[in-house]
Amino acid sequence: MSLVLENVVKNFGEVEALRGVSLTLKKGEVVGLLGPNGAGKSTLMKILTGYYKKWEGRAILFDKDLKKELKAIQQKVGYLTENNPLYQEMYVKEYLQYNADLYRLKNPPVETLIRKMGLVGYKHKKIQTLSKGYKQRIGLAAAIIHDPELVILDEPTTGLDPNQLLEIRKLIRALGKDKTVLLSTHVLQEVEALCNRVIIIDKGKIILDKQLESLRKGKKQIIEVSFNFRIEVEAIRRIPYVEKVKNTHDFEYEIYIKGKKDMRPAIFDFAYDNGLKILKLQMKNESLEKIFNGLTS
Protein backbone atom coordinates (compact mmCIF):
# COMPACT_ATOMS: atom_id res chain seq x y z
CA MET A 1 0.00 0.00 0.00
CA SER A 2 1.41 3.41 -0.93
CA LEU A 3 -0.96 5.36 1.24
CA VAL A 4 -3.53 4.77 3.96
CA LEU A 5 -5.59 7.64 5.32
CA GLU A 6 -7.86 7.23 8.29
CA ASN A 7 -10.41 9.82 9.24
CA VAL A 8 -8.41 12.90 8.31
CA VAL A 9 -9.97 16.10 9.61
CA LYS A 10 -8.69 19.60 8.92
CA ASN A 11 -10.34 22.82 10.04
CA PHE A 12 -9.42 26.42 9.31
CA GLY A 13 -11.20 28.16 12.14
CA GLU A 14 -14.88 27.74 11.37
CA VAL A 15 -14.24 26.18 7.97
CA GLU A 16 -14.28 22.39 7.96
CA ALA A 17 -12.05 21.75 4.94
CA LEU A 18 -11.77 17.97 5.48
CA ARG A 19 -14.45 16.15 7.46
CA GLY A 20 -13.12 12.64 8.01
CA VAL A 21 -11.36 11.46 4.86
CA SER A 22 -10.34 7.81 4.66
CA LEU A 23 -8.81 6.14 1.64
CA THR A 24 -6.04 3.82 0.50
CA LEU A 25 -3.88 4.03 -2.59
CA LYS A 26 -2.25 0.94 -4.02
CA LYS A 27 1.13 1.03 -5.67
CA GLY A 28 0.92 1.93 -9.35
CA GLU A 29 -2.59 3.36 -9.30
CA VAL A 30 -3.39 6.58 -11.12
CA VAL A 31 -6.14 8.14 -9.06
CA GLY A 32 -8.16 11.23 -9.85
CA LEU A 33 -9.34 13.31 -6.92
CA LEU A 34 -12.32 15.02 -8.47
CA GLY A 35 -14.33 17.77 -6.87
CA PRO A 36 -15.68 21.27 -7.33
CA ASN A 37 -13.73 24.29 -6.13
CA GLY A 38 -13.46 24.41 -2.37
CA ALA A 39 -14.07 20.66 -1.97
CA GLY A 40 -10.84 20.11 -0.05
CA LYS A 41 -8.56 18.68 -2.74
CA SER A 42 -5.62 21.01 -2.21
CA THR A 43 -5.94 20.80 1.55
CA LEU A 44 -5.68 17.01 1.43
CA MET A 45 -2.64 17.21 -0.83
CA LYS A 46 -0.94 19.76 1.38
CA ILE A 47 -1.40 17.44 4.36
CA LEU A 48 0.17 14.55 2.46
CA THR A 49 3.18 16.61 1.51
CA GLY A 50 3.76 17.84 5.03
CA TYR A 51 2.80 21.46 4.39
CA TYR A 52 0.23 21.40 7.20
CA LYS A 53 1.40 19.99 10.49
CA LYS A 54 -1.83 20.39 12.45
CA TRP A 55 -4.64 18.03 11.52
CA GLU A 56 -6.48 15.09 12.99
CA GLY A 57 -6.50 11.47 11.90
CA ARG A 58 -3.82 9.14 10.61
CA ALA A 59 -1.79 9.00 7.43
CA ILE A 60 0.50 6.08 6.64
CA LEU A 61 2.72 6.35 3.60
CA PHE A 62 4.95 3.44 2.60
CA ASP A 63 4.28 1.90 6.03
CA LYS A 64 5.50 5.02 7.81
CA ASP A 65 3.45 7.38 9.96
CA LEU A 66 3.34 10.85 8.43
CA LYS A 67 3.24 12.53 11.81
CA LYS A 68 6.39 10.74 12.94
CA GLU A 69 8.54 10.24 9.86
CA LEU A 70 7.78 13.19 7.63
CA LYS A 71 11.35 13.63 6.33
CA ALA A 72 11.68 10.01 5.25
CA ILE A 73 8.28 10.13 3.57
CA GLN A 74 9.06 13.37 1.75
CA GLN A 75 11.99 11.61 0.05
CA LYS A 76 9.44 9.40 -1.67
CA VAL A 77 6.76 11.92 -2.49
CA GLY A 78 6.78 14.32 -5.42
CA TYR A 79 4.48 17.32 -5.45
CA LEU A 80 3.39 19.77 -8.08
CA THR A 81 1.38 22.52 -6.43
CA GLU A 82 -1.61 24.26 -7.89
CA ASN A 83 -0.52 27.10 -10.23
CA ASN A 84 3.00 25.67 -10.42
CA PRO A 85 5.09 28.45 -8.90
CA LEU A 86 8.52 28.56 -10.54
CA TYR A 87 11.49 30.88 -10.20
CA GLN A 88 10.87 32.83 -13.37
CA GLU A 89 14.37 34.30 -13.59
CA MET A 90 16.07 30.92 -13.53
CA TYR A 91 17.02 28.92 -16.58
CA VAL A 92 15.36 25.56 -17.13
CA LYS A 93 18.36 23.34 -16.51
CA GLU A 94 19.59 25.54 -13.68
CA TYR A 95 16.17 25.31 -12.00
CA LEU A 96 16.10 21.52 -12.17
CA GLN A 97 19.65 21.34 -10.84
CA TYR A 98 18.58 23.66 -8.01
CA ASN A 99 15.72 21.31 -7.11
CA ALA A 100 18.08 18.36 -7.19
CA ASP A 101 20.38 20.21 -4.79
CA LEU A 102 17.50 20.73 -2.37
CA TYR A 103 17.22 16.95 -2.15
CA ARG A 104 21.04 16.67 -1.96
CA LEU A 105 21.04 14.26 -4.88
CA LYS A 106 24.46 13.02 -5.95
CA ASN A 107 23.63 12.09 -9.53
CA PRO A 108 20.40 13.89 -10.32
CA PRO A 109 18.74 12.78 -13.57
CA VAL A 110 18.56 16.35 -14.86
CA GLU A 111 19.45 15.55 -18.46
CA THR A 112 17.24 12.46 -18.51
CA LEU A 113 14.25 14.45 -17.32
CA ILE A 114 14.95 17.25 -19.77
CA ARG A 115 14.77 14.62 -22.50
CA LYS A 116 11.71 12.82 -21.09
CA MET A 117 9.76 16.04 -20.68
CA GLY A 118 10.59 17.30 -24.16
CA LEU A 119 12.67 20.22 -22.87
CA VAL A 120 15.89 19.61 -24.82
CA GLY A 121 15.55 22.73 -26.97
CA TYR A 122 14.62 24.81 -23.95
CA LYS A 123 17.13 23.90 -21.29
CA HIS A 124 19.08 27.13 -21.65
CA LYS A 125 16.00 29.32 -21.80
CA LYS A 126 14.76 31.55 -19.03
CA ILE A 127 11.62 30.09 -17.48
CA GLN A 128 9.63 33.32 -17.81
CA THR A 129 9.97 33.24 -21.60
CA LEU A 130 8.21 29.88 -21.92
CA SER A 131 4.54 29.05 -22.50
CA LYS A 132 2.30 27.67 -19.77
CA GLY A 133 2.56 24.18 -21.24
CA TYR A 134 6.36 24.23 -21.09
CA LYS A 135 6.31 25.67 -17.60
CA GLN A 136 4.13 22.75 -16.60
CA ARG A 137 6.68 20.32 -18.04
CA ILE A 138 9.34 21.97 -15.89
CA GLY A 139 7.08 21.69 -12.86
CA LEU A 140 6.54 18.01 -13.53
CA ALA A 141 10.26 17.40 -14.01
CA ALA A 142 11.04 19.20 -10.75
CA ALA A 143 8.37 17.21 -8.92
CA ILE A 144 10.00 13.89 -9.84
CA ILE A 145 13.66 14.88 -9.75
CA HIS A 146 14.21 12.64 -6.68
CA ASP A 147 12.42 9.68 -8.30
CA PRO A 148 9.51 9.57 -5.85
CA GLU A 149 7.17 6.58 -5.53
CA LEU A 150 4.08 8.71 -5.10
CA VAL A 151 3.48 11.78 -7.25
CA ILE A 152 0.89 14.32 -6.15
CA LEU A 153 -0.27 16.74 -8.83
CA ASP A 154 -2.67 19.52 -7.87
CA GLU A 155 -4.75 20.48 -10.91
CA PRO A 156 -1.87 19.79 -13.31
CA THR A 157 -3.83 20.58 -16.46
CA THR A 158 -5.88 23.59 -15.41
CA GLY A 159 -5.43 26.59 -17.69
CA LEU A 160 -3.67 24.76 -20.51
CA ASP A 161 -4.80 25.18 -24.10
CA PRO A 162 -6.01 22.04 -25.90
CA ASN A 163 -2.65 21.15 -27.48
CA GLN A 164 -0.71 21.69 -24.29
CA LEU A 165 -3.34 19.67 -22.47
CA LEU A 166 -2.76 16.63 -24.67
CA GLU A 167 1.01 16.86 -24.26
CA ILE A 168 0.85 17.17 -20.48
CA ARG A 169 -1.65 14.30 -20.26
CA LYS A 170 0.75 12.16 -22.23
CA LEU A 171 3.55 12.94 -19.80
CA ILE A 172 1.34 12.22 -16.80
CA ARG A 173 0.27 8.91 -18.29
CA ALA A 174 3.93 8.01 -18.75
CA LEU A 175 4.54 8.85 -15.08
CA GLY A 176 1.74 6.49 -14.14
CA LYS A 177 3.62 3.57 -15.66
CA ASP A 178 6.02 3.25 -12.75
CA LYS A 179 4.65 5.52 -10.05
CA THR A 180 1.55 5.92 -7.95
CA VAL A 181 -0.13 9.12 -9.06
CA LEU A 182 -2.73 11.16 -7.20
CA LEU A 183 -3.95 14.10 -9.22
CA SER A 184 -6.71 16.57 -8.51
CA THR A 185 -9.06 18.19 -10.96
CA HIS A 186 -12.45 19.82 -11.13
CA VAL A 187 -12.93 18.51 -14.66
CA LEU A 188 -14.58 15.14 -15.13
CA GLN A 189 -13.04 14.53 -18.56
CA GLU A 190 -9.60 14.78 -17.01
CA VAL A 191 -10.26 11.76 -14.83
CA GLU A 192 -11.67 9.81 -17.74
CA ALA A 193 -8.62 10.62 -19.85
CA LEU A 194 -5.97 9.84 -17.26
CA CYS A 195 -7.05 7.75 -14.32
CA ASN A 196 -7.97 4.19 -13.51
CA ARG A 197 -9.76 5.19 -10.36
CA VAL A 198 -11.83 8.18 -9.33
CA ILE A 199 -12.44 9.58 -5.89
CA ILE A 200 -15.08 12.28 -5.76
CA ILE A 201 -14.77 14.71 -2.89
CA ASP A 202 -17.32 17.33 -1.94
CA LYS A 203 -17.39 19.65 1.06
CA GLY A 204 -14.53 17.79 2.69
CA LYS A 205 -16.06 14.33 2.37
CA ILE A 206 -15.49 11.48 -0.05
CA ILE A 207 -18.76 10.64 -1.74
CA LEU A 208 -17.58 8.11 -4.29
CA ASP A 209 -14.50 5.93 -4.73
CA LYS A 210 -14.53 3.60 -7.71
CA GLN A 211 -12.51 2.00 -10.47
CA LEU A 212 -13.43 3.64 -13.75
CA GLU A 213 -13.64 0.20 -15.28
CA SER A 214 -16.37 -0.86 -12.88
CA LEU A 215 -18.28 2.34 -13.55
CA ARG A 216 -18.18 1.63 -17.26
CA LYS A 217 -19.21 -1.99 -16.91
CA GLY A 218 -22.89 -2.55 -17.32
CA LYS A 219 -23.40 1.11 -18.04
CA LYS A 220 -24.54 2.38 -21.38
CA GLN A 221 -21.95 3.71 -23.71
CA ILE A 222 -22.69 7.29 -24.65
CA ILE A 223 -20.78 9.15 -27.32
CA GLU A 224 -20.99 12.89 -27.46
CA VAL A 225 -20.40 14.27 -30.91
CA SER A 226 -20.71 17.60 -32.66
CA PHE A 227 -20.81 18.01 -36.40
CA ASN A 228 -20.40 21.13 -38.50
CA PHE A 229 -24.06 21.12 -39.45
CA ARG A 230 -27.33 19.58 -38.39
CA ILE A 231 -28.29 16.09 -39.44
CA GLU A 232 -31.50 14.16 -38.87
CA VAL A 233 -31.51 12.14 -35.66
CA GLU A 234 -33.06 9.29 -37.65
CA ALA A 235 -30.00 9.08 -39.90
CA ILE A 236 -27.69 8.67 -36.90
CA ARG A 237 -30.07 6.07 -35.50
CA ARG A 238 -29.25 3.81 -38.47
CA ILE A 239 -25.60 3.38 -37.39
CA PRO A 240 -25.22 -0.20 -36.10
CA TYR A 241 -25.75 -0.75 -32.35
CA VAL A 242 -27.17 2.74 -31.84
CA GLU A 243 -30.08 2.60 -29.46
CA LYS A 244 -31.05 6.22 -29.01
CA VAL A 245 -29.93 9.64 -30.24
CA LYS A 246 -30.48 12.96 -28.52
CA ASN A 247 -29.94 16.30 -30.21
CA THR A 248 -28.58 18.18 -27.19
CA HIS A 249 -27.59 21.49 -28.83
CA ASP A 250 -27.57 22.90 -32.34
CA PHE A 251 -25.16 20.46 -33.95
CA GLU A 252 -24.45 18.36 -30.88
CA TYR A 253 -25.71 14.86 -30.29
CA GLU A 254 -25.59 12.22 -27.62
CA ILE A 255 -25.49 8.76 -29.12
CA TYR A 256 -26.45 5.85 -26.88
CA ILE A 257 -24.85 2.56 -27.88
CA LYS A 258 -25.83 -1.01 -27.07
CA GLY A 259 -22.97 -3.25 -25.91
CA LYS A 260 -19.34 -2.52 -25.21
CA LYS A 261 -17.82 -2.30 -28.67
CA ASP A 262 -16.15 1.08 -29.16
CA MET A 263 -18.29 2.67 -31.84
CA ARG A 264 -16.29 5.83 -32.36
CA PRO A 265 -14.80 4.53 -35.65
CA ALA A 266 -18.33 3.89 -36.94
CA ILE A 267 -19.24 7.48 -36.12
CA PHE A 268 -16.24 8.71 -38.09
CA ASP A 269 -17.29 6.60 -41.06
CA PHE A 270 -20.82 7.92 -40.77
CA ALA A 271 -19.60 11.51 -40.79
CA TYR A 272 -17.38 10.85 -43.79
CA ASP A 273 -20.16 9.15 -45.75
CA ASN A 274 -22.50 12.06 -45.10
CA GLY A 275 -20.00 14.81 -45.87
CA LEU A 276 -19.98 15.97 -42.23
CA LYS A 277 -17.00 17.18 -40.24
CA ILE A 278 -16.61 16.10 -36.64
CA LEU A 279 -15.85 19.04 -34.36
CA LYS A 280 -15.91 17.06 -31.12
CA LEU A 281 -16.15 13.40 -30.23
CA GLN A 282 -15.91 11.90 -26.80
CA MET A 283 -17.11 9.04 -24.67
CA LYS A 284 -19.22 9.94 -21.72
CA ASN A 285 -19.70 7.98 -18.58
CA GLU A 286 -23.30 8.14 -17.57
CA SER A 287 -23.21 7.45 -13.86
CA LEU A 288 -20.10 9.48 -13.11
CA GLU A 289 -21.47 12.35 -15.10
CA LYS A 290 -24.75 12.25 -13.20
CA ILE A 291 -23.10 12.27 -9.81
CA PHE A 292 -20.70 15.01 -10.73
CA ASN A 293 -23.26 17.23 -12.41
CA GLY A 294 -25.46 16.88 -9.36
CA LEU A 295 -22.60 18.30 -7.30
CA THR A 296 -21.62 21.20 -9.45
CA SER A 297 -25.03 22.40 -10.58
Residue type, 180: T
Would you tell me the crossing angle of helices 132-143 and 162-175 to the nearest 10 degrees?
Answer: 10
Closer of 43 and 164 to ligand ADP (Cβ): 43
**278-285 and 56-61 strand pairing:** unpaired
Residue count, binding to ligand ADP (CB under 6 A): 11
Residues 64-123 that bind Mg ion (CB under 5 A): 82
Secondary structure of residue 294 in the 3-state scheme:
helix
Q: Got the DSSP string for 105-140?
A: -SS--HHHHHHHTT-GGGTTSBGGGS-HHHHHHHHH
Question: In this chain, which of 2, 43, 164, 221 binds ligand ADP, going by CB under 6 A?
Answer: 43
Between 39 and 255, name the residue whose CB sits nearer to ligand ADP: 39
Question: Contact 144/110 with Cβ under 8 angstroms?
Answer: no
Q: Which helix (H) or strand (E) holds 98?
A: helix 92-102
Indicate the residue among 13 and 218 with the shorter CB distance to ligand ADP: 13
- Residue 83 in the binding site for ligand ADP (CB under 6 A): no
Residue 80 carries which side chain, given as an amino acid letter? L
Contacts of Mg ion in 25-54 (CB under 5 A)? 41-42
32 binds ligand ADP (CB under 6 A): no
Name the pairing type of β-strands 15-25 and 150-154: unpaired
CB of 267 closer than 8 Å to CB of 274: no
Q: How far is the CB of 10 from ligand ADP (least distance, A)?
A: 8
**Residue 15 interacts with ligand ADP (CB under 6 A): yes or no:** yes
CB of 230 vs ligand ADP, minimal distance in Å: 38
Binding window for ligand ADP (CB under 6 A); candidates: 12-20, 69-77, 161-169, 274-282:
12-20
Q: Minimum distance between the CB of residue 249 and ligand ADP, rounded to whole angstroms?
A: 29
**Which spans of this chain sit near Mg ion (rule: CB under 5 A)?**
41-42, 82
**Which spans of this chain sit near ligand ADP (rule: CB under 6 A)?**
12, 15, 17, 35, 37-43
